[in-house]
Amino acid sequence: MKPQQQSDRKLIFDDEGIKAFAIHLKKIRIREGYSQSQLAFESGLSLSQIARIETARINPTLSTVFALARTLNVQLSDLFDFELSPKEK
């Protein structure tokens, strides 16, 4: 039984930011009149991936986000039009 060895390197998963993005994306997707599966099909992303993103279960890459923006036909600045809580020093 190997004792769940905890690595010391810290990977960042920005839960707050990922959640904010999820909510914002869903809002825009609906605003633009897409279902998850339409968005998946037209963007070339998998449906499971769209769902994972909107439920904030993963931390998508820029390429993925760019594909979403292109398909939804919105500006990146629109897709990122939400506030991130500032870093505490």
Please name the amino acid found at residue 66: F
> Taking CB under 7 A as the criterion, which residues in 9-68 touch DNA?
9-13, 30, 35-37, 44-49, 51-55, 57-61, 63-64
Residue with tokens 């994306």: 25
Q: Is 80 in the site for a second copy (CB under 8 A)?
A: yes
In 3D space, the residue among 60, 88, 87 whose CA is nearest the CA of residue 24 turns out to be 60
How many Å apart are CA 25 and CA 3, to the nearest integer? 39
Minimal distance, residue 76 CB to DNA, in Å = 15
| DSSP classification of residue 86 | P
**Contact positions toward a second copy, by CB under 8 A?**
10, 12-14, 17-18, 21, 44-45, 59-67, 69-71, 73, 75-77, 79-84, 86-87
